[in-house]
Amino acid sequence: MQIDLRTVAIQPQRQAFDHLIRRFGNKPASRYQEGSYDIQAAENLHYKPTWDPDHALYDASLTRIVMQDWYALKDPRQFYYSTYTLTRARQQETTEANFGFVESRGLADMLSDELRAISLNVLVPLRHAAWGANQHNTFICGYGYGTTFTQPCMYHAMDNLGIAQYLSRLGLLLGDTEALDAGKQSWLDDAAWQPLRRYVEDCLVIRDPFELFVAQNVALDGLLYPLVYARIVDDHISVRGGTAVAMLTQFMSDWFDETRKWVDAVLKVAAAESDANREVLQEWTRTWSDRAASAMVPIVELALGANADEAVGEQLAAFKARIAKTGITL
């Protein structure tokens, strides 16, 4: 039997804040809507930035992408701070359990020398690439326009930092501090890593927040994550007895599957806005994904040797198919 508890019933005076009623109609708003829409100052900005007097404090013209309403770029995950943090806290528990399991069972010591070397050589230098990604997403959040677009970039930046830290822990676990030193050396000097490092550094001087979004979150992540965590970790290392490595990088695989839905949604809405947008996005995606693909070849070679070209080629084709669904043909 259902019992309804009785409370004093008071008629609310209104359903939601005015700006949300204007957008979504006269009904209660979700917490995502309350925490995201129109919360960036939009009018009567007081002063021009002293660091860039040609632009406004919040300036949509910093990018070549033009949107009638920047808030159209919503996050299908509907992440606001709370839902974001709760999601990552759960994943963090799993990751912690995975690290604990690998450590307590001594699984790291059971890796063959060859697999350990591949894991360290491929994964440890990537902590620097993840730091680069953190820089880029922090930038997009800082200079991008409209909270629905910029807020997930802050969360993304913190995820990038978290990933850099998980990769550092993986390095420490498999090869101690020497592994981190060696990884940094490779990142700075080894020929295999220079195209990627150059890619990341070239992105550090891009000041169009949307181009940076494409270069980092669409193009580079779109190739790097499937190549490294699916093709190398799962298909190469794991099947040869290196399940431990897959456990230590589960966060990254899950994270990519989750975040690409948001990345695709942003791309799709921006491309659908106008032909001009679509052309710009096409140009950026083509340029940056070609560069990302060639930067990945020498890195994939570290694990797959002569099969690297083929793996990257297949991945690039899969990437193009994915991007085609957002309305952008490469």
Partner 1 sequence: MDMKVAKKKLGTKEKYRLMTRDLGWETTYQTKEDVFPYVGYEGIKIHDWDKWEDPFRLTMDSYWKYQAEKERKFYAIIDAHAQNNGHLNLTDARYLSALKIFLQAISPGEYAAHKGFARVGREFPGVGTQVACQMQAIDEIRHAQTQIHAMSNYNRYYNGFHAFADTRDRIWYTSVARSFFDDSMSAGPFEFMIAIGFSFEYVLTNLLFVPFMSGAAYNGDMATVTFGFSAQSDEARHMTLGLECIKFMLEQDPDNLPIVQEWIDKWFWRGFRVLGLVSTMMDYMLPKRVMSWREAWEIYGVENGGALFKDLARYGIKPPKGWDDAEKAIDHMSHQFMLGLYQWSFGTAFHSWIPSEDDMDWLSAKYPETFDKYYRPRWKHIKKLADAGTPFKNYGLAKLCQTCQLPCVFTEPDDPTLTCHRETVYKDETYHFCSDGCQHIFEHEPEKYVQAWLPMPQLFQDPIQGDLGEWMKWVSLIDGKDNGDYAGSEDQKNFETWRGMATSNQ
Structure tokens at 145: 């326009």
Q: Does 184 contact partner 1 by CB under 8 A?
A: yes
Distance CA 322, CA 306 (A): 26
Instruction: Choose which of 69, 76, 114, 198 interacts with partner 1 (CB under 8 A).
Output: 198
Least separation in angstroms between residue 31's CB and partner 1 is 6
Give the burial class of 310: count Cβ atoms within 10 A of its Cβ; 0-12 exposed, 13-18 middle, 19 or more buried: exposed
Binding window for partner 1 (CB under 8 A); candidates: 122-130, 216-224, 235-243, 259-267 = 122-130
Instruction: Choose which of 70, 149, 155, 225 interacts with partner 1 (CB under 8 A).
Output: 155
Least separation in angstroms between residue 68's CB and partner 1 is 18
Q: What 8-state DSSP symbol labels residue 240?
A: G
> What's the start-to-end Cα distance of the chain, in Å?
60
Instruction: Choose which of 25, 26, 27, 48 interacts with partner 1 (CB under 8 A).
Output: 48
Quickly list DSSP for 151-207: HHHHHHHHHHHHHHHHHHHHHHHHHHHHHHHHHHHHHHH-GGGHHHHHHHHHHTT--
Phi, psi (degrees; rounded to nearest 5) at 48: -75, 145
Instruction: Choose which of 202, 279, 290, 309 interacts with partner 1 (CB under 8 A).
Output: 202
Beta strands in the chain (DSSP E): none
Per DSSP, the three-state class of 234 is helix
Q: Does 100 contact partner 1 by CB under 8 A?
A: no
Q: Does 38 contact partner 1 by CB under 8 A?
A: yes
> Exposure pattern of 168-204 as b/e (b: 16+ CB <10 Å)?
bebbebbbeeebbebbeebbeebebbebbbebbeebe
Q: In the complex with partner 1, which residue's Cβ is closer, 155 or 225?
A: 155
Q: Does 116 contact partner 1 by CB under 8 A?
A: no
Distances (CA, A) of 45 to 49, 143, 209: 10, 15, 20
Q: Does 45 contact partner 1 by CB under 8 A?
A: yes
Least separation in angstroms between residue 33's CB and partner 1 is 10
Least separation in angstroms between residue 35's CB and partner 1 is 4
- Stretch 250-309 residues interacting with partner 1 (CB under 8 A): none
Binding mask 52-91 for partner 1 (x = CB under 8 A): -----xx---------------------xxx--xx-xxxx
Distance CA 212, CA 217 (A): 8
Q: Does 17 contact partner 1 by CB under 8 A?
A: yes
Q: Does 143 contact partner 1 by CB under 8 A?
A: yes
- Stretch 211-230 residues interacting with partner 1 (CB under 8 A): none
Structure tokens at 79: 């992440």
Instruction: Choose which of 24, 64, 78, 92 interacts with partner 1 (CB under 8 A).
Output: 92
Binding window for partner 1 (CB under 8 A); candidates: 194-202, 223-231, 233-241, 280-288 = 194-202
Among 26, 11, 252, 316, residue whose Cα is nearest residue 122? 252
- Stretch 156-175 residues interacting with partner 1 (CB under 8 A): 157-159, 161-162, 164-166, 168-169, 172-173
Least separation in angstroms between residue 232's CB and partner 1 is 21
Rounded to 10 degrees, what is the CA torsion of 115, 118, 119, 120?
A: 120
